[in-house]
Structure 1
């Protein structure tokens, strides 16, 4: 049955500065921790990525031609402040003015993220967001941007606070590559949420133009056996790590009793303690009703089983199906033998998980105002032939997720747009260039763009609003 999305629904494409721009040291840009980390640990770098720094007019022209009326972009903090604070790099400042002007020229609304995994290296080496001084530096950088770019109508503080803590301190796939330190995961989450809350309050108090929100990655967690209380508990605990802790901070301005008990249990088993200060909760509480929107990034769901052995996490970075392992002592183990398709990277394809996550926000956090699905898409080993990619699997994936968004809207959720990850092919943080998501195929050698079959399909959906 056909489903209809609202007339004012945004059909967008998503990008991120470090994954798309290239030009990692051009025009005064300061280093980020990823520059060194990729050289030392992976088989690729972010140079030249999709060369968006030079090719953005081409990408925005394609966006306009294919019915895309919104784009997620991020500002590279170290293009503006090469050392994270202090001296301003005006070539970087000017680049973003030009980028935003081109967006508006093409009638593609820019949704601008201030931090998308790329803390300047000097601040990252100094503890990143575990160091409270860096909260101050972030708020100062945000204020500079609010003053400098009144042409922006939609601001996002952070992209994916959850996966930052998880990547840096649990899985160790992001710099500084620390593994299994749950206390650092929660402390990073908490400090970044304090930075978010302070920034939102500053934005509202300053009377700046536009709207502001945050983007959270929300993978839905299900018990492997819903009749087994231990599996139910495993799903609840893993949900606290990835979702509930940051959602509580965003919309409750505190951590619920259930969340705190779960965190205390996880740390009792795995060690470590948190530095949560009364003044932090004043800040969180002051901002809890000020978020104009929540961005949800959703790619997968997970099925959890009770587990009490040693923690072991193996990240599948090569796309060899079955290469993943995820088990945390006293929390649970991720199980793959469920009747759900999965990608070559072991990401479980389950559109209903997006519906459930949207409705969970509506029910548990009724002070949310509106939701954008700010990332969703299929990472695939695209086969380029006849100057295109026949990516029917991607079309099917996006179609099914748009259908459940339409269902959620029918059931009372206020969802205002969808941004496919990604607009064009970009480099993937821990998977390199083989894992592609774009509507437009990028030949990384020539930097030429080619519309995929999915781009033609997406245009039709954008034109008709019928899925």
Structure 2
């Protein structure tokens, strides 16, 4: 059996909008999701997991099941209802109370400043396509650094690529724009610029603790050894991985990365302008990131595709319905020889190993890594409070083995946060896709430990992958 380091953090991940509920309570300002979900006639995020009221219960479960840390996010509009200006003291007090409860129970909070929930006024004004909103985000970040001095681990953003791609490429998030490469690239760059500015403020201000960013990174492999498929995978990789890591650890975009992005733009008859002055802040921040958070759920195999962009996002859990073909990039294919979740996500733990080794080799100033999200979305069966989820345990076991191998090969991985701590609201899947260690009865808000929670506890206690 493989081992994990003795100081390896075993955490659970959440996000404010997906677990807090109380979306209008105590002065919280609106976000785009509030109206978007109603307009679509879907589920809503209220009460979600009612973390706003239930967090002492969840912290107690962490303590009982040897979960060292909670990854959580601050809801920007709970602090600044309009995104800037007037402060909502009740929101500030809520997070202070949460952090105090964590400290009382020796649970470490890993805090993300932005997790898909820009305040609605700013979102409607262009979100991160609008440079004024970069300034508002940086001001909000600086306020949090000063106000929440008890926090020791900060992430600026969660999943910059999915923010940009889901909003402007795939159209699965509001404002539901599809196939706009210009807006996708502009959003990616502006958020990386905002990240750099926040890092520099944190370091120049000599705030205590550490700061990093959480990227969603999933390996792209060519579907065949044909040169055109290798090139398609290279293009997909450049936009979804290299662009982010270059910005984070170089402070600029390498010639190779930028040329790939220009090819994608040209194929879609689009172009983008980036202010060269932004690279001053980005280069300054490049060696100041204390850690990299990686969210990883699978890998992709890509082949050449010359048609118009077309896609179908599997939101139902009906296998075989996912389609992803992007003009100028390629088509992500289905590997019939590999296991998949009900949502068509390929299960390939070696992809996580390959990704970690690659980061070590290509970006030696990465410092250290936390796996900030990884887990199995599953249709858990509830039987009188008993939830047997062996497929989730098997998924975790395979990924922990891959992590152990990467650590043995010299990658500095310091911890793992399962997505998710408890069952939460899912942005495009509602409440049927469950990830949690703890089953949530969303009607009663009662928590039930799953079989996987007991497995996770044993791994945490022994640092042995059983």
Please give the TM-score of this superposition, normalised by the length of structure 2: 0.99
Q: Deviations over 1:81-134 (max 9, x none)?
A: 000000000000000000011111111100000000000000000000000000
Paired with 1:287 and 1:205, the residues of 2 have a C-alpha distance of 10
Aligned to 1:388, the other structure's residue is in SS state coil
Query: Contact 1:305–1:334 (CA<8 Å) still a contact in 2?
Result: yes
Aligned to 1:188, the other structure's residue is in SS state helix
Whether 2:210 is the aligned partner of 1:211: answer yes
The answer for the alignment partner of 2:269 in structure 1 is 271
Count of aligned residue pairs for this structure pair: 465
Aligned to 1:172, the other structure's residue is in SS state coil
Paired with 1:272 and 1:235, the residues of 2 have a C-alpha distance of 21
TM-superposed CA distance for 1:42, in Å, is 4.8
The answer for the alignment partner of 1:369 in structure 2 is 367
The answer for the alignment partner of 2:52 in structure 1 is 53
Query: Contact 1:170–1:179 (CA<8 Å) still a contact in 2?
Result: yes
The answer for the alignment partner of 1:125 in structure 2 is 124
The answer for the alignment partner of 1:262 in structure 2 is 260
Whether 2:155 is the aligned partner of 1:176: answer no
TM-superposed CA distance for 1:386, in Å, is 3.0
Aligned pairs for 1:222-237 within 5 A: 222-225=221-224, 227-237=225-235
The answer for the alignment partner of 2:107 in structure 1 is 108
TM-superposed CA distance for 1:336, in Å, is 0.3
Aligned to 2:358, the other structure's residue is in SS state helix
TM-superposed CA distance for 1:271, in Å, is 2.5
Paired with 1:207 and 1:275, the residues of 2 have a C-alpha distance of 33
Moved more, 169-178 or 271-280: 271-280
Paired with 1:305 and 1:31, the residues of 2 have a C-alpha distance of 41
TM-superposed CA distance for 1:309, in Å, is 0.6
The answer for the alignment partner of 1:430 in structure 2 is 428
Aligned to 2:418, the other structure's residue is in SS state strand
The answer for the alignment partner of 1:22 in structure 2 is 21
Q: 2:288 aligns with which of 274, 287, 290?
A: 290
Paired with 1:214 and 1:420, the residues of 2 have a C-alpha distance of 17
Query: Contact 1:183–1:271 (CA<8 Å) still a contact in 2?
Result: no
Q: 2:331 aligns with which of 319, 329, 333?
A: 333
The answer for the alignment partner of 1:315 in structure 2 is 313
Query: Contact 1:11–1:462 (CA<8 Å) still a contact in 2?
Result: yes
Structure 1, unmatched stretches of 5+, are: none
Aligned to 2:155, the other structure's residue is in SS state strand
Paired with 2:158 and 2:22, the residues of 1 have a C-alpha distance of 21
Paired with 1:334 and 1:131, the residues of 2 have a C-alpha distance of 31
Moved more, 228-237 or 433-442: 228-237
Paired with 1:348 and 1:7, the residues of 2 have a C-alpha distance of 31
The answer for the alignment partner of 1:253 in structure 2 is 251
**Segments of 4+ moved more than 6 angstroms:** none
TM-superposed CA distance for 1:337, in Å, is 3.3
The answer for the alignment partner of 1:391 in structure 2 is 389
Query: Contact 1:116–1:159 (CA<8 Å) still a contact in 2?
Result: yes
Q: Deviations over 1:321-372 (max 9, x none)?
A: 1111000112110110341100110000000010111111101100110000
Query: Contact 1:15–1:422 (CA<8 Å) still a contact in 2?
Result: yes
Moved more, 19-28 or 98-107: 98-107
Paired with 2:38 and 2:235, the residues of 1 have a C-alpha distance of 35
Paired with 1:338 and 1:232, the residues of 2 have a C-alpha distance of 20
Q: Deviations over 1:139-190 (max 9, x none)?
A: 0000000000110010000000000001100111111110010111111000
Query: Contact 1:111–1:156 (CA<8 Å) still a contact in 2?
Result: yes
Query: Contact 1:388–1:441 (CA<8 Å) still a contact in 2?
Result: no
Query: Contact 2:437–2:449 (CA<8 Å) still a contact in 1?
Result: yes
TM-superposed CA distance for 1:14, in Å, is 0.1
Paired with 1:424 and 1:42, the residues of 2 have a C-alpha distance of 25
Whether 2:307 is the aligned partner of 1:303: answer no
Paired with 1:407 and 1:395, the residues of 2 have a C-alpha distance of 18
